[in-house]
Amino acid sequence: MSISDNVKARMVEGSWIRKMFEEGTILTRKYGADKVFDLSIGNPVMEPPHEFKKELSRLANNPLPGMHRYMENAGYADTRAAIAAQLSQETGVTFVHDDIIMTCGAAGAMNVILKAILNPDEEVIVFAPYFLEYGNYVDNHGGVLKVVPTDDKFVPKLDALEAAITKKTKAVLVNSPNNPTGVVYSKAFISQLGELLNKKEAHYKTQIYLISDEVYRKIIFDDLKYPPMFHHHRHSIVATSHSKDLALPGERIGYIAVHPECSQKGELLGAFIFCNRILGYVNAPALMQRLVSALQNVTVPIMEYQKKRDFLYENLVEFGYSLVKPQGAFYMFPTSPTSDEMTFIAELQKYNVLVVPGRGFGTPGYFRISYCLTDKTLEGSLKGFKKAAQKFGLC
């Protein structure tokens, strides 16, 4: 056999997000783009902010000497300093540039972290529903993914987490605002999570890292505030990117931030820098590092996403769908009107509406909608959602 058994099995399992995206491509060729309503992939149609274009133009017209050469594997010191300053302001925790490692997106950050911390068969705990690529990332580095349930509001069950933690637990991975639910974890929950991890560390005499995937941290609605993980567990590590808050998913620019008081921090940061190199990333894209240095307090217009959320949520509720109202990101995760969501999704496809099955996030019986799309696409999908709701007796 030419490929490994493990890779072959994971290719079959695949990514439901990509499968639905590919199905959308087929339907678009058949019916035309204006008749297909693909709500499957979180690929923002919003353009980067004006400030990004202005900075890009400035650098293009006034290039810095050696602007496209290698730099140290951790990234440019001035870029890391700009991020550290912004994080210090946002969190009230004092960061310096050495606490930051620039990476090729949040996915690159996650793989660097897991490569650095995992021994074979050590466990990483996630909460369902979760971004399914987490399983691949953990497997990449010889770890074991352990899945813990959430409640009916998609908040992790701390009693289930406590039961799941063992001496082999190396990390707990959280994602807030959450993909696929849009839920934002409260300060009270994060405080309780930190207390539990501190207790388990003391019991097992181990370090349990709290890895926080914060790629949607700046996309929060209804005047909610994001409660930083750093206040509640000193072994906290953030993996994030500017893919969503600056609408730059194709540019692959992200970073790792390590709690300034993390024990053995120097060794940990050294491992991240080393793994950034040996995993083949070498360094984050040079030009993007220069650009985001000047854009740390800039985002896309968040209110535009909130308007899209409100429009779709209100219509779906009117049609009879059951769902938790998203508090951030740009996804929603309704309950399927059929226990096998694939039957429902097949019905939607009759009207050229594409969504992702909940099993693609470890939670069958639901489906994910992405609404970082044009208003025309969202409006065009409503007919299909209403017809499918009628078909299954929701309205």
58 is a domain residue = no
| Residues 111 and 34 reside in one and the same domain | no
Cα dihedral value 142, 145, 146, 148, nearest 10: 160
Please check whether residues 253 and 125 belong to one and the same domain.
yes
Examine the domain organization and report whether 282 and 312 are in the same domain: no
Helices (H), 32-70: 50-61
What is the pLDDT at residue 14?
65
pLDDT at 237: 98
Radius of gyration for the alpha carbons in the chain, expressed in angstroms and rounded = 21
Q: Can you read off the two tokens belonging to residue 241?
A: 């990117």
- Confirm whether 177 is domain-assigned: yes
DSSP state, 134?
A: H
Neighbours of 325 (CB within 10 A): 14
Structure tokens at 98: 């050495």
Tokens 């133009």 map to which residue? 57
Contacts made by residues 80-83, CB under 8 angstroms, sequence distance 24+: 80/255, 82/292, 82/293, 82/294, 82/296, 83/255, 83/257, 83/292, 83/296
Asked if residue 304 and residue 287 are part of one domain, the reply reads no
Three-state DSSP at 4 gives coil
Phi-psi region of 92 (alpha: psi -120 to 50; beta: other; left: phi over 0): left
Q: Do residue 105 and residue 152 come from a single domain? A: yes
Res 230: pLDDT: 97
Residues facing residue 237 across a β-bridge: 211, 258
Written as six digits, the tokens of 240 are: 């994030």
Instruction: Based on the fold, state whether residues 283 and 307 are members of the same structural domain.
Output: no
The domain tally of the chain equals: 2
Element (H, E) at 100: strand 100-103
Helix, coil or strand: residue 173: strand
- Helices 105-117 and 265-278, packing angle to 10 deg: 120
* Residue 127: CATH number of its domain: 3.40.640.10
d(CA 199, CA 291): 42
Beta-ladder partners of 125: 146, 172
pLDDT recorded at residue 13: 65
pLDDT by 10s per residue, the chain, length 395: 688 888 777 766 666 666 777 777 777 777 777 888 999 988 899 999 999 999 999 999 999 999 999 999 999 999 999 999 999 999 999 999 999 999 999 999 999 999 999 999 999 999 999 998 999 999 999 999 999 999 999 999 999 999 999 999 999 999 999 999 999 999 999 999 999 999 999 999 999 999 999 999 999 999 999 999 999 999 999 999 999 999 999 999 999 999 999 999 999 999 999 999 999 999 999 999 999 999 999 999 999 999 999 999 999 999 999 999 999 999 999 999 999 999 999 999 999 999 999 999 999 999 999 999 999 999 999 999 999 999 998 88
- Same domain? For 233 and 192 the reply is yes
- Three-state SS string over 173-213 comes to EEECCCCCCCCCCCHHHHHHHHHHHHHHHHHHCCCCEEEEE
Which residue segment(s) compose the domain that 159 sits in?
A: 66-293
Three-state DSSP at 258 gives: strand
Distance CA(78)–CA(275), nearest Å, equals 21
- Given this model, what pLDDT does residue 5 score? 82
Task: Among 243, 271, 293, identify where a domain stops.
Answer: 293
The answer to the question of residue 59 being in a domain is no
Identify which of 310, 314, 316, 309 has the alpha carbon closest to the alpha carbon of residue 389: 316
Beta bridge mates, 354:
38
Specify the CATH number for the domain of residue 16. 3.90.1150.10
Residue 19 lies in a domain: yes
Q: Same domain, yes or no, for 317 and 180? A: no
Cα first-last separation, the chain: 52
Residue 349 DSSP one-character state: H
Q: What is the pLDDT of residues 102-114, one digit of tens each?
A: 999 999 999 999 9
Q: Angle at which helices 77-91 and 286-293 pack, to 10 degrees? A: 40
